[in-house]
Amino acid sequence: MPLPPNDTAPDSGVIHNIGYRGYQGPRLGRGYATGALFVQGLRAAYGLGRSGKSKVLPMLVAAALALPALVIVAVAIIMKLDKLSVGYADYISLSVMGIFVLMFLAAQAPVLMSRDLRHNTVPLYFSRPITRTDYVQARFLAMAAALMLLMTVPLVLLYLGALLAGLPFGENTGQFAQGLFAALLYSVLYSAIGLLIAAATPRRGFGVAAIMGVMFVSIPLVGIVYGLSSGVGPAPESANWAALLSPSTVVHGLVNEMFSITTGGSLHAPGGIGIAVFALETAVLTGGSYWLLLRRYRNI
């Protein structure tokens, strides 16, 4: 005998509408939300949580930056060298792999800033507990952390490889720390400048081009001024002031002089005054860009 129609679904696979349930749990407030924005930004810088093709470029650049470190290590081990053929701080400077760091910045800073502007997500964030300052802070830290991670991976590879090859522990540890310090300076300075430029336009393409322009055009400028002031003979000490013309060479010169690194190019801050001026420029560029970034978001 057929059963009468039953209005409760017989199989348990059906999702029942259980009605609306409120939320009584904790609300963790501004600090937590800023942290969530930071994590989202850091992930987005590597294309995580986004489409497959947005992972391609950051991952390729990260690989391009890390693989030569393996080669250097392999060479050191096989040839039984008494030190790595490239110094830690030199490795991430413009004279070796720094160009990839700039590429990463140019490509990914607009991912953090322009996209939110373009898709009008910024006003939506501001309808949440965070403030404008929190937003800028989270984005800045995310970009800086992404760059730091990018440079830390090859440095760690170099360091582990050096230890594996039985190179002197103390010397390598010191130089590794110097490398990390240089990476930190690059990270905060590049992030501040890159994000400021990226925040100027909702168009990602423009952002990429503008960052490339500012960062790359200033590099040959340094070379030209350096060349002109050194003339035909060996470069005088004063030619090094040319390094002030580009963010990349400022950090490079500062680190070289601070730690007396003479390998990988001779560019260095001239003496104690040089250190002070180069450090001041790094601080002013970073702080100034960050302040302008805060101003940029004041009226959105």
Partner 1 sequence: MSTVIKTDGLTKKFPRVTALDQLTVEVQPGVVGLVGANGAGKSTLIKILLGLAPATSGTGQVLGLDIATEGSAIREQVGYMPEHDCLPPDVSATEFVVHMARMSGLPAAAARERTADTLRHVGLYEERYRPMGGYSTGMKQRVKLAQALVHDPKLVLLDEPTNGLDPVGRDEMLALIRRVYTDFGISVLVTTHLLGELERTCDHLVVIDGGRLLRSSSTASFTEVTQLIAVEVTDRPDEPGFDAEAAVLARLTAAGLSARTDGTKIMLVQLEDDDTYDTIRDTVADLGLGLVRLEQRRHRVAEIFATETGGPSDAAAS
| Interaction of residue 26 with partner 1, rule CB under 8 A | yes
Please, which residue, 206 or 216, has the CB nearer to partner 1? 206
User: Could you tell me the smallest distance in angstroms from the CB atom of residue 107 to partner 1?
Assistant: 15
Please, are residues 201 and 228 in contact by the beta-carbon 8 Å criterion?
A: no
| Total residues binding partner 1 (CB under 8 A) | 35
Question: Which of 121/173 has CB closer to partner 1?
Answer: 121
Single out the segment in contact with partner 1 by CB under 8 A; choices: 27-35, 157-165, 229-237, 280-288.
Answer: 27-35
Distance separating alpha carbons of residues 89 and 76, to the nearest angstrom: 17
Residue 87 DSSP label: -
In sequence order, what are the residues at sequence separation of 6 or more whose Cβ sits closer than 8 angstroms to the Cβ of residue 233? Answer: none
Question: Is 23 among the residues that bind partner 1 (CB under 8 A)?
Answer: yes
- Contact residue for partner 1 among 21, 170, 232, 234 (CB under 8 A): 21
Answer yes or no whether residue 119 interacts with partner 1 by CB under 8 A: yes
Structure tokens at 6: 């039953």
Among 2, 10, 13, 22, which residue sits at the site for partner 1 (rule: CB under 8 A)?
Answer: 22
**Residue from 126, 181, 216, 241 that binds partner 1 (CB under 8 A)?**
126
Burial class (CB in 10 A: 0-12, 13-18, 19+), 268: buried
Question: Binders of partner 1 among 54-93, rule CB under 8 A?
Answer: 54
128 sits near partner 1 (criterion: CB under 8 A): yes
Stretch that binds partner 1, among 34-42, 92-100, 139-147, 167-175 (CB under 8 A): 34-42
Report the nearest approach of partner 1 to the CB of residue 103 (Å): 21
157: tokens are 């590879």
Nearest approach, Cβ of 199 to partner 1 (angstroms)?
Answer: 16
CA distance 79 to 47: 38
Site string for partner 1, 261-300 (x = CB under 8 A): ----------------------------------------
* Ramachandran angles phi, psi of 218, nearest 5°: -70, -20
When binding is defined by CB under 8 A, the residue of 57, 60, 68, 129 that contacts partner 1 is: 129
Q: Residues 9, 32, 166, 262: which binds partner 1 (CB under 8 A)?
A: 32
Residue 253 to residue 278: CA distance in whole angstroms = 8
Report residue 266: phi and psi, to 5°: -100, 0
Q: Two tokens at 67?
A: 């693989």
Read off the tokens for 255: 């680190």
Put residue 172 in one of left, alpha, beta given phi > 0 → left and psi -120 to 50 → alpha: alpha
Query: Of 111, 117, 109, which is closest to residue 143 (Cα–Cα)?
Result: 109
Contact set with partner 1 (CB under 8 A)? 15, 19-23, 25-30, 32-33, 36-37, 40, 49-51, 54, 115-116, 119-121, 123-131
